[in-house]
Structure 1
Amino acid sequence: MPLITCPDCQREISDSAPACPGCGRPHGELQNDFLRADERPYRPKKRSRGRAAARLFIIINIGWLACVLGVAFLNDHGAFDGVRMPSFIPSVAVDFHAGGEGIIRQLGSDIIGKLSRESASCSRHAKIDTVITERDWLFSRTGASSLFISGGNDTALKLEYRLELAGDKMYAIPKDPDSAQQALAAFLITGCH
């Protein structure tokens, strides 16, 4: 029993069927319109819409990436100097990471200065090792920073701060002032090593 293709719905059916079970087209007198499966002309399959949607998604994302990189490049080369940003975008006058790291490094220098006045050993061994600054989210005006002060014999002191941007000023507030004081006192007692 050979199979034939219905010209209306393209479904393969038996040549002895009186009508197409898919669309109901009668088979008897219109048999000339039906072709055997091996006699069908080649028809390429239609592409699914999923591929087209995926391509569109990729093209849009590449476009966004190009825009972001272009703006960043122009900003680095002074193209936006003197341009006032819209009020709904958080202030970009102070770069959060650079401003936060600068403030924390200044606090670290002040702490090392105080430690050095208290202990000669601290003046030789204590130094700022690392400063890590992070925003809470992309356009956030708050974040956190960690200051690592290293001493002799692989000792280190970690102090954590909460950063807040208010207008063009940035504030660093110790996350836990009591434990920070205790850790600083213990670091000083050991002579920073």
Structure 2
Amino acid sequence: MEALARVAVMVRAGAAPLWWLGVLAAGIGGFVPGLTGPAIGVYGGAAAAIITAAAVALARRGRYTQRADEALRAPRSVILQDRAVTARAWRTAHRWWLAAAFLVAVAAAFAIPAAPGMVLAGAGAGLWAKAAWIGRLERARDALLWIRTDANSPLAGAYRTTGLAAGDALPGGAKRVPAAKAKTKA
């Protein structure tokens, strides 16, 4: 029996930790005088964050599209992994990389104040934008994209598809609001 995880959730799982660790590193770096001074660090960091977010969001789109084109329909015998389990597994597997990125961003703030943390936050924003793009791709194809849970990357294996109602996450990896809660909000 095969277990599948959502591609968009795997991409989106890194967005929040990178964003918040980047904001924290930029905040810490803002109090460090640095070699270039705080103004250059903040303005340069803002520009670098925008460029990083765009680069991360646009990177490998062709490969995602190609994998989606080649995706096969998932058989009924598969197990669909919950959104929270997928995100927790990704964060657990990458916790040391996240910690190392945070420490490097804080240490690099002694050269350029705040900028390295802003770049880290830009990478998180880029991953969120990429997950949103995958969600639009899923809506356009009327199918959610899944990958085996033992894949260490969203591009590490063949994709499977299900209908849009499968799983507990919306296209793009956002949390699905239960129907009972949605009705009470209206």
TM over 0.5: no
* Greater relative CO (CA pairs within 8 A, separation 6+): 2
Pair member with larger Rg: 1
| TM-score, L = length of structure 1 | 0.28
| TM-score, L = length of structure 2 | 0.28
Considering fraction of residues, name the structure with more helix.
2
Considering fraction of residues, name the structure with more strand.
1
